Amino acid sequence: MYRLRKIQSVKRSICLKNLILFCCCLLSFLSLSSHAESTQSHPSDAIAVRDALLMDLTNASLKKSMPILEKIEQISSEEMLPVFTTLLEGGLYYVKSDRSLVQKRSIDGKTSFTTFPFLNKATNQQASELTSKKVKKIKVNNALRKYLRGAIARIQLSSTDISKRQSSVRSLLSSLDESTISRIHQLREKETDTGVKAMMDIALDLYSAENGSEREQVAAIRRLANSLENEVRNALTQLTKDDQPEVVRNAALTALKTIDQQVNRYALVDQLFFGLSLGSVLLLASIGLAITFGVMGVINMAHGEMIMLGAYTTYVVQLLMPNHIDYSIWVAIPAAFVVSGLMGVIIERGVIRHLHGRPLETLLATFGISLILQQLVRSIFSPLNRQVSTPSWMSGSVEINPVLSLTLNRLYILAFALLVFFALLFILKKTSLGLNVRAVSQNRNMARAMGVKTAWVDAMTFGLGSGIAGIAGVALSQLTNVGPNLGQAYIIDSFMVVVFGGVGNLFGTLVAAFSLGIATKFLEPVTGAVLAAIAVLVFIILFIQKRPKGLFPQKGRAAE
């Protein structure tokens, strides 16, 4: 009986202990949940925790900084991006007196410190009064930089900007882990943009291809065969190694073959675009020569210097408008046309009109003028090349896909060249100047007999052709440096375009410019730039032997 009572008392004590333990656990759970609810319901508490963590960050060593940053990432939103970005760039400091965070900036060689407005705790000192002695840098190492890049991308996954969400997913492709994939899964259900969804699907498939079962790997690899992302190609290359199952290797090899075929097709498109870009430059450089050579029969060796004058005019306009670079090009285009056009009229009135009918002497005279203009520019601007700034709206590129992007400056120049071509075509077809130009080009003596002032037409034609060459210089200044020898690089190509297309035929000049530009860019990867130029020259020589009047020869009296 005594043993039975003792056993019962022991059981009662055990039950009592279990009950007490259960009650403690229940109370702790309730306290934690209530604390979480209070934190969610009171954003000020989360802000206070965040500020406390930022304060700890100023005291922490490199080893302890990672856990602090992870906690900050968990409780913060997109507003912390400036802090993370500044820390990644090595520009995050704190004030020694109150340990508030500031960022270092360098403007025009002067160093200054600015605060983060969204932080509760602001510095007690004026930002303008802060010096390097009053602040201390928060150091980062490679491990922290790697984490910060991923953290910035993860925070941007919830951004309201579609482009930021898409770029953040792309930046995470090379560092996918289970937590990141879980977050992408959650956000994918709420995502509304198809482009961001497609990028998220690539990330999910990429993770499955590397970490899923054999069946999941093969299915994911087949879906990734339509992706051109570099990370996808790198991952598929790793899956072709011998340590992978044979089914996975074969699927990866097939996907890589499909991707390579797409890359090759887009490489041809890229070459075509650069060929059109070169053709637009050749068109601008040769279109003015086409009307002077076609109408007046003058071999103007100073045509390249008209291009150079247009480029230097752009440089001078930007010197006069240093705070309005985005608008300077709209001033430079008419200014270059006027400067080069006036120089062309001066050359025609001063030299060429006295040598009419003597082409060899005209060639030598214009060659001498080109040397004079080059030396004049060297004396004024020095022989050094000058760089012309590109307006912000012409900078950057249009990304079609990860392997194909079109630079904006070349796109604008291509559209500008076509605009100038059709404007010149309108002038020659629909204006009185164009009518007189066509009359003089067909029969100079008959036009003079009909009362056309041929001397005036010659001057205006030469000025118009030189002015268009000046506009070509504006376009070239956006692609290369401006120097005294700029025009010499395009004078031979301009003559080739005019002769190949047909002397005096604007449509022939258009076709010849783009044909030679595309042919050159497709030959360069095979033969190199020098041999490509030689091959094009040899082709034109052989072509002229068969068709001396070019692709589109003039008909009727103009041909005579």
The per-residue pLDDT for 36 is 40
Phi, psi angles (nearest 5°) of residue 521: -70, -30
**Alpha carbon distance 106, 320 (integer Å):** 25
Encode pLDDT of 16-65 as tens digits. 555 554 454 444 444 434 444 444 444 566 677 777 888 888 888 888 88
DSSP class per residue in 333-351: HHHHHHHHHHHHHHHHHHT
The per-residue pLDDT for 125 is 47
- The beta-strand segments (E) located in 10-115 are 92-95, 101-107, 110-115
**Alpha carbon distance 452, 444 (integer Å):** 9
**Alpha carbon distance 327, 334 (integer Å):** 13
The per-residue pLDDT for 290 is 84
Q: Which of 302, 334, 328 is nearest to 315 (CA)?
A: 328
In order along the chain (560 residues), what is the average pLDDT of each group of 10 residues?
A: 46 51 46 42 65 81 83 75 83 82 76 71 53 83 84 80 85 82 85 88 90 89 90 90 86 93 92 93 88 76 91 93 89 94 91 82 89 92 88 88 89 93 88 81 77 82 89 90 87 87 83 92 87 89 86 60
**Alpha carbon distance 144, 247 (integer Å):** 38
Helix (H) or strand (E) holding 552: none
**Alpha carbon distance 242, 234 (integer Å):** 16
- Is residue 396 left, alpha or beta, with left meaning phi > 0 and alpha meaning psi from -120 to 50? left
The per-residue pLDDT for 32 is 37
Q: pTM here?
A: 0.74
User: Structure tokens of 416?
Assistant: 């500008």
Under a CB-based contact definition with an 8 Å cutoff, are residues 173 and 202 in contact?
A: yes
**Alpha carbon distance 445, 449 (integer Å):** 6
Number of other CB atoms surrounding residue 237 within 10 Å: 12
The per-residue pLDDT for 38 is 42
Under a CB-based contact definition with an 8 Å cutoff, are residues 487 and 305 in contact?
A: yes
The per-residue pLDDT for 128 is 57
Average pLDDT, the chain: 82
**Alpha carbon distance 524, 496 (integer Å):** 18
Tell me the C-alpha to C-alpha distance, in Å, between residue 488 and each of 5, 125, 518.
115, 60, 21
Which amino acid makes up residue 256?
Answer: L
Three-class SS of residue 494? helix
CA 443 to chain centre: 50
Which amino acid makes up residue 125?
Answer: Q
Task: Please report how many Cα atoms fall inside a 13 Å half-sphere around the Cα of residue 185, on the Cβ side.
Answer: 11
